[in-house]
């Protein structure tokens, strides 16, 4: 059975996107060789990336560009090479390499994908999908990087969640740039 994780940057005040739906603030900050190695290591895996429409459009507008390759060649190459699935009721087609569009039932499709053999799946951004799948008990691990920034406004990745989620900390790591990596699994 394939594992489904969430990997998101979160501001100190709990937002994964700012008031303009941007995640660019997560890329700012002073350089840290240990952090850079962590990012490169995370980008080296295989598997499938899972997106909602908004995150897909944001990622697809950046990672296939020469600017992305110039700023972070290793991550850009992996992002472009990995299999990607975008869930959307409004998109009619997708153009980013190795991307499939799914218009059907989100939870049913994730259950089907999880039952297959193969590498894991990672949701990046996509708060609406995170809250829906968390509510269904379909997320195996929540990985968050707390960034040392306060945004004041934005959206949480659990917006719309109806029931409380009990989680247990399974991993943590602090970096010199002030970022803190936290990994949680469902407590039940």
Average pLDDT, the chain: 92
**Phi first, then psi: what are they for 99, rounded to 5°?**
-115, 135
What pLDDT is stored for residue 30 in this prediction? Answer: 66
How far is the C-alpha of 93 from the C-alpha of 140, rounded, in Å? 29
Tell me the pLDDT band of 29, cut-offs 50, 70 and 90. Answer: low
Q: Taking the domains of the chain in order of start, what are their residue ranges?
A: 4-186
Cβ neighbours of residue 115 closer than 8 Å, sequence gap 6 or more: 1, 2
**What pLDDT shows up at residue 39?**
80
Please state which architecture CATH assigns to domain 4-186: 3-Layer(aba) Sandwich (3.40)
148 CB-near residues (< 8 Å, 6+ apart) = 12, 29, 177, 178, 179
What is the Cα–Cα distance from 115 to 21, expressed in whole angstroms?
A: 32
Which residues does residue 50 pair with via DSSP β-bridges, in sequence order? 85, 123
The total number of residues shown for the chain amounts to 188
Would you state the pLDDT for residue 28?
Answer: 72
- pLDDT bin (cut points 50, 70, 90) of residue 188 is confident
The candidate with the shortest Cα–Cα distance to 88, out of 113, 57, 44, 115, is 57
Q: Is the confidence at residue 9, as pLDDT, over 90?
A: yes
- 66-123 confidence digits (pLDDT tens): 999 998 888 888 899 999 999 999 999 999 999 999 998 999 999 999 999 989 999 9
């Amino acid at each position: 059975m394939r594992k489904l994780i969430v990997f998101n940057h979160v501001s100190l005040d709990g937002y994964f996107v700012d008031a303009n739906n941007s995640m660019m603030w997560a890329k700012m900050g002073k350089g840290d060789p240990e952090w850079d190695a962590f990012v490169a290591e995370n980008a080296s895996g295989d598997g499938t990336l899972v997106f909602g429409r908004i995150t897909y459009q944001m990622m697809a507008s950046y990672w296939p560009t020469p600017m992305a390759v110039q700023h972070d060649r290793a991550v850009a190459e992996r992002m472009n090479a990995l299999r990607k699935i975008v869930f959307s009721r409004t998109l009619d087609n997708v153009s980013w390499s190795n991307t499939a569009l799914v218009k059907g039932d989100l939870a049913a499709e994730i259950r089907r994908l999880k039952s297959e053999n193969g590498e894991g799946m990672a949701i990046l951004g996509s708060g609406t999908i995170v809250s829906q799948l968390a509510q269904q008990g379909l997320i195996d691990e929540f990985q968050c990087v707390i960034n040392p920034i306060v945004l004041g406004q934005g959206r949480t990745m659990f917006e719309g969640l109806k029931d409380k989620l009990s989680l247990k900390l399974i991993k943590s790591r602090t970096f010199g740039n002030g970022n803190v990596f936290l990994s949680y699994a469902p407590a039940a």
